[in-house]
Amino acid sequence: MSVNRMESSIATSVSIEILEKQLDVASTEAAKSFMSTIDIMESLISTNERFYEGSHCRFIATKSALIAQQLGFQGYEVFEIQTAALLHDIGKIGFPDYISSKYYSEFTNEEQKIYYKHPELGKQLLSQNSNFDSIGDIILQHHEKVDGSGFPYHLSGSEIHIGAQIISVVDFYHNAVFRRKRDRTQMTDSSLSAINGTALVAQSQKRSTQAVQYLLSKKKTIFNQEVVDLFVHLVEYDRDNLSEQTILRCSVHQLSDDMIIAQDYYTTYGLLIVAKGEHVKEHVRNALIKFANNGEVPPKILVMR
């Protein structure tokens, strides 16, 4: 090879190297901005989630990712399903308070029409960034049912993205077990202390059994059969496994990432802050510190390790 050609070849490989580095930096930056966009949207939803203090989205995302993995999905596919689960109700942002605080069965016809739009609104919101295209598609379908009785497009069976079918199962369970009606008669200070935390925990265990029974009874009509079986297995696994851990009482300020919450904690209004089985993460710790400072949860809580 002539010196000139060698120099030109070296120059080419160097420039390719530089280009690759630049691309690396660019894609890392794009990934960072993508992730921070997701974080911002998650906190927006958590703020809007009047019933669960953010616990709902976290639960759906964690369990959906586990089911996706068990179904054989990997890497980015799992990430997409997990992110769609985290943001599944983003289309409800901006719903008026009187809709957010009602059960579906309490909606008027007009309110139902607004509610039915939230999957499409979610897809629309995310369509501004092409990175969210498939996440938006999953969100668009999260209320479709296997038998075609869902909305907005009455898709059925395999027409529905598997991510949406997973979210549908986990979302049903969490709503059935943890969603509480915000009873306006209980909002006076004098009646707040009357809500019994132990009774709420016992009630949530009973609700869990009922929700599992319902999922099993509808696994060939409304829900995806394989997803229901995997999810029920997860619920049973959590129940059996968590009971074998050492339980200790720990100050909310000293909670560490190797701990698991040992019982459901609610605000005095009966809204779930953290559920039994949730891993302690920074946002969990921050929420508990906030509510402990308000006197809504004890300064020391039960955790497992």
Nearest Cα to 63, choosing from 305, 279, 285, 222?
A: 279
The stretch among 70-78, 82-90, 124-132, 231-239 that binds Fe ion (CB under 5 A) is 82-90
The stretch among 46-54, 78-86, 88-96, 129-137 that binds Fe ion (CB under 5 A) is 88-96
The stretch among 85-93, 106-114, 133-141, 199-207 that binds Fe ion (CB under 5 A) is 85-93
Nearer of residues 138 and 280 to Fe ion, judged by Cβ: 138
The stretch among 15-23, 108-116, 168-176, 197-205 that binds Fe ion (CB under 5 A) is 168-176
The stretch among 5-13, 151-159, 164-172, 294-302 that binds Fe ion (CB under 5 A) is 164-172
* Smallest gap from residue 139 Cβ to Fe ion (A): 8
Using CB under 5 A as the binding rule, the residues of this chain from 207 to 226 that contact Fe ion are: none
172 contacts 215 by C-beta, under 8 angstroms:
yes
Question: Where do we find the tokens 């306006």?
Answer: 184
Is residue 171 a contact residue for Fe ion (CB under 5 A)?
A: yes
* Smallest gap from residue 142 Cβ to Fe ion (A): 6
Nearer of residues 42 and 303 to Fe ion, judged by Cβ: 42
Is residue 278 a contact residue for Fe ion (CB under 5 A)?
A: no
The stretch among 84-92, 126-134, 203-211, 252-260 that binds Fe ion (CB under 5 A) is 84-92
Which of 49, 53, 89, 144 contacts Fe ion by CB under 5 A? 89
Is residue 80 a contact residue for Fe ion (CB under 5 A)?
A: no
Nearer of residues 58 and 285 to Fe ion, judged by Cβ: 58
CA distance to 168, 170, 226, 227, 237, per residue, from 230 (Å): 13, 11, 6, 5, 10
Nearer of residues 163 and 297 to Fe ion, judged by Cβ: 163
* Smallest gap from residue 18 Cβ to Fe ion (A): 47
Calculate the CA dihedral of residues 283, 286, 292, 293 and round it to 10 degrees.
Answer: -150
* Smallest gap from residue 126 Cβ to Fe ion (A): 14
Nearer of residues 142 and 285 to Fe ion, judged by Cβ: 142
Nearer of residues 171 and 264 to Fe ion, judged by Cβ: 171
Phi and psi angles of residue 179, each rounded to the nearest 5 degrees, phi first: -75, 130
Nearer of residues 149 and 293 to Fe ion, judged by Cβ: 149
* Smallest gap from residue 175 Cβ to Fe ion (A): 6
Distance CA 103, CA 121 (A): 20
Nearer of residues 84 and 284 to Fe ion, judged by Cβ: 84
- Please give the residue ranges that form the binding site for Fe ion (CB under 5 A): 89, 171
